[in-house]
Chains A and B, each alone.
Chain A
Amino acid sequence: MVMDFPFSVTRHVSYVTFLLFRTFTVYTSEATHTMMPENLQETIGSIRKGDRTAFKKLVEMYQQPAFRLAFRILGNEEEAKDTVQDSFIKIWQKIGSYDSSREFIPWMYRIVANTAADRLRSMRRHVMVPIDLVAEKRMTLQQRDQGTPADNHDLAVLITGLAGMLPEKQKMVFILRDVEGMSSEEVETITELTADAVKSNLYHARKSVRERLFKILEKERSIK
């Protein structure tokens, strides 16, 4: 009993410390990811004047979503990091042309998507990942513990296995609409395609991906 007391106190103190730390980290991470529009406009105003500190703040805030989009388009971690770097340099250079009456994030996504598309063209290869490897990585990702971040390599195989063979426009529309979950209007703004072109590209992309999905599932059944 005497021995239990300090142990119990230590455990409670550590638990409370953990809760405080978690509250703090959740608060700070939410604060960094949900910038109020007026604060964002203020930051952009400072960047226009050449404020590097404000630009650094913007980079810290939006490099993760930019990386996510680039990674999903390119299916490669290193290429995605280079794309993010190039995109932010373009943002710094083109901030003068940004129309403040419009939302910043679609404008930023357009730059990231275009930079990723250029890189995709320079890579000049349609990657065909073997179905059994895609099925294997899918099972690995599915079986990981809840809350554990996905391994980028496994994700790259899965995304490339599903959408790697799609032509550029189809891939763009598919990633933005069905993976990033954007609305058709947002996809039109980012890709600068008409509503009909978005619809048509999405139709063909979904058809190809659906066929690929069924093949992966069939392979999984044979593995089991």
Chain B
Amino acid sequence: MNCSDIPEILDRMIFEDVPADAGFMQHMHTCASCAQAYAEALKAREVMNLVRSSEPVLPNPGELTGKIMAAVPDSPSAHIMAGISARPEHTFRVALLLTRLLAAASVALFLLFGYEQIGIVIKISTLEKQCAEIKPDSRYSDLLQQASILNISEAGISFSELERLLHNRKGRNPLSALSTSKKPNQRNQK
């Protein structure tokens, strides 16, 4: 027997009240540190035995019984209902139904709003790319300050087309030009 085996045996002795075997006792005669741990474990076992054997006693059990009886629902129907609701298969079915309803609702919400959101995200990312192409000191910086993302996005036009619009309609508010000229590419194609 090695010293490394001793802590497990001591634990079983302290907590499970398992007596030591001959091999263990032989090791105790040869190893002073294990013998010291064994002496401590014997005392620790006494403490654990005391904890196990000392049963806490419920003071005034009649009073507690009365309290419990006063607290439980009175009518048998309430009790039966409580029993039914506590049936695991019933609870499971309700939980399953609720889970399916939640899943269906989330899919419907995604279909309703998700598609539109994806379109907006694509438009904004395109716009950001186009904005990055324009230098801050260029003549379009004024236009960028005046135009809102939504207007440009709604118009569905690039900044090169914006430049063209600005050229053609000098003196007019570029925002009004934007709002009146929807989908210029499509118009040109027609």
Q: Does B69 count as interface, using CB distance less than 8 angstroms?
A: yes
CB distance A213 to B44 under 8 Å? yes
Which residues of chain B from 61 to 81 have a CB within 8 Å of any chain A CB? 61, 64-65, 67-69, 71-73, 76, 79-80
Q: Find the A residue at minimum CB distance from B65.
A: A59
Which residues of chain B from 2 to 57 have a CB within 8 Å of any chain A CB? 10-11, 14-16, 40, 43-44, 46-48, 50-52, 54-57
CB distance A59 to B83 under 8 Å? no
Q: How far is the CA of A85 from the CA of B51 in the complex (A)?
A: 24
Segment at the B interface, from A18-26, A76-84, A188-196:
A76-84
Interface string of B128-169 (1 = CB under 8 A from A): 000000000000000000000000000000000000000000
Point out the residue from A49, A52, A92, A96 that lies within 8 Å of B84, measured CB to CB.
Answer: A96
Interface residues on B, range: 35 or more
Q: How far is the CA of A81 from the CA of B56 in the complex (A)?
A: 12
A-side contacts of B67, CB under 8 Å: 85
Main secondary structure of the interface of A (DSSP, over half): helix
Distance (Å) between the CB of B41 and the closest chain A CB? 8
CB distance A210 to B11 under 8 Å? yes
Distance (Å) between the CB of B83 and the closest chain A CB? 3
Interface residues on A, range: 35 or more
Distance (Å) between the CB of B47 and the closest chain A CB? 6
Q: Does A40 count as interface, using CB distance less than 8 angstroms?
A: no
Q: How far is the CA of A59 from the CA of B84 in the complex (A)?
A: 22
Interface centre among A88, A162, A181, by most B CB within 10 Å?
Answer: A88
Q: How far is the CA of A128 from the CA of B47 in the complex (A)?
A: 18
CB distance A155 to B84 under 8 Å? no
Q: Does A138 count as interface, using CB distance less than 8 angstroms?
A: yes
Interface string of A147-161 (1 = CB under 8 A from B): 001101001101100
Q: Find the A residue at minimum CB distance from B72.
A: A92
Q: How far is the CA of A209 from the CA of B43 in the complex (A)?
A: 13
Q: How far is the CA of A64 from the CA of B40 in the complex (A)?
A: 34
Main secondary structure of the interface of B (DSSP, over half): helix
Given contacts A93-B86, A178-B16, contact A63 B47 (CB under 8 A): no
Q: How far is the CA of A142 from the CA of B50 in the complex (A)?
A: 7
CB distance A77 to B84 under 8 Å? no
Q: How far is the CA of A54 from the CA of B52 in the complex (A)?
A: 31
Q: Does B59 count as interface, using CB distance less than 8 angstroms?
A: yes
CB distance A72 to B40 under 8 Å? no
Q: Does A179 count as interface, using CB distance less than 8 angstroms?
A: yes
Q: Find the A residue at minimum CB distance from B46.
A: A142
Q: How far is the CA of A155 from the CA of B56 in the complex (A)?
A: 7
Could you list 30 examples of A-B contacts with CB < 8 Å?
Answer: A55-B69, A59-B69, A63-B65, A63-B68, A64-B61, A77-B59, A80-B56, A81-B64, A85-B68, A92-B73, A92-B82, A93-B82, A94-B82, A96-B80, A97-B86, A97-B87, A97-B88, A150-B56, A155-B51, A156-B56, A158-B51, A158-B54, A162-B47, A178-B15, A178-B48, A178-B52, A179-B52, A181-B52, A214-B40, A217-B47
Given contacts A60-B61, A178-B48, 9 further A-B contacts (CB under 8 A): A63-B58, A84-B64, A96-B84, A96-B87, A138-B50, A141-B54, A155-B54, A210-B44, A217-B40
Q: Taking beta carbons and an 8 Å cutoff, which residues of A are in contact with B?
A: 48-50, 52, 55-56, 59-60, 63-64, 67-68, 71-72, 77, 80-81, 84-85, 88-89, 92-97, 138, 141-142, 149-150, 152, 155-156, 158-159, 162, 177-179, 181, 206, 209-210, 213-214, 216-217
Q: Taking beta carbons and an 8 Å cutoff, which residues of B are in contact with A?
A: 10-11, 14-16, 40, 43-44, 46-48, 50-52, 54-59, 61, 64-65, 67-69, 71-73, 76, 79-80, 82-84, 86-88
